């Protein structure tokens, strides 16, 4: 089971061609074990509950990228999946899309 991040300008337009990034449970747990205190990472906190659907709006993508990069730098977090996630977020931002989060 993965936590899926789908990039779209409208949730109703998500289909098989929608860009998607999947974050595994173990990487999610490692991310949140390092994102302490969580209140210092308000955008990352949006997907703390692995099983809850959520949305990262277009305007929240850049703050999310900054939080992830700060977490990598301050906690020396070296996860390939987080680097790939940042790449996905940057492309989504450049394309003007929101991120819809769903655990399948």
What HEC string does 4-47 produce? EEEEECCHHHCCCCCCEEEEEHHHHHHHHHHCCCHHHCCCHHHH
> Where residue 78 falls among pLDDT bands split at 50, 70, 90?
confident
- Asked whether the predicted pLDDT for residue 104 surpasses 80, the reply is no
- pTM listed for this prediction: 0.94
Q: What is the CATH number of domain 2-103?
A: 3.40.1760.20
8 Å CB contact between 39 and 14? no
8 Å CB contact between 59 and 53? no
Phi, psi of 86 (to 5 degrees): -60, -45
The confidence score (pLDDT) of residue 30 equals: 94
The residue assigned the tokens 């990069």 is 69
């Amino acid at each position: 089971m993965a936590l899926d991040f789908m990039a779209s300008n409208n949730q109703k337009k998500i289909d098989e061609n929608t860009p998607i990034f999947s974050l595994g449970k173990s990487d999610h747990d490692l991310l949140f074990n390092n994102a302490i205190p969580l209140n210092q990472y308000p955008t990352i906190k949006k997907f703390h509950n692995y099983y809850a659907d959520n949305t990262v709006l277009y305007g929240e993508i850049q703050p999310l990228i900054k939080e992830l990069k700060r977490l990598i730098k301050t906690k020396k977090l070296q996860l390939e999946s987080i680097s790939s996630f940042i790449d996905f977020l940057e492309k989504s931002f450049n394309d003007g899309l929101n991120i819809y989060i769903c655990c399948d």
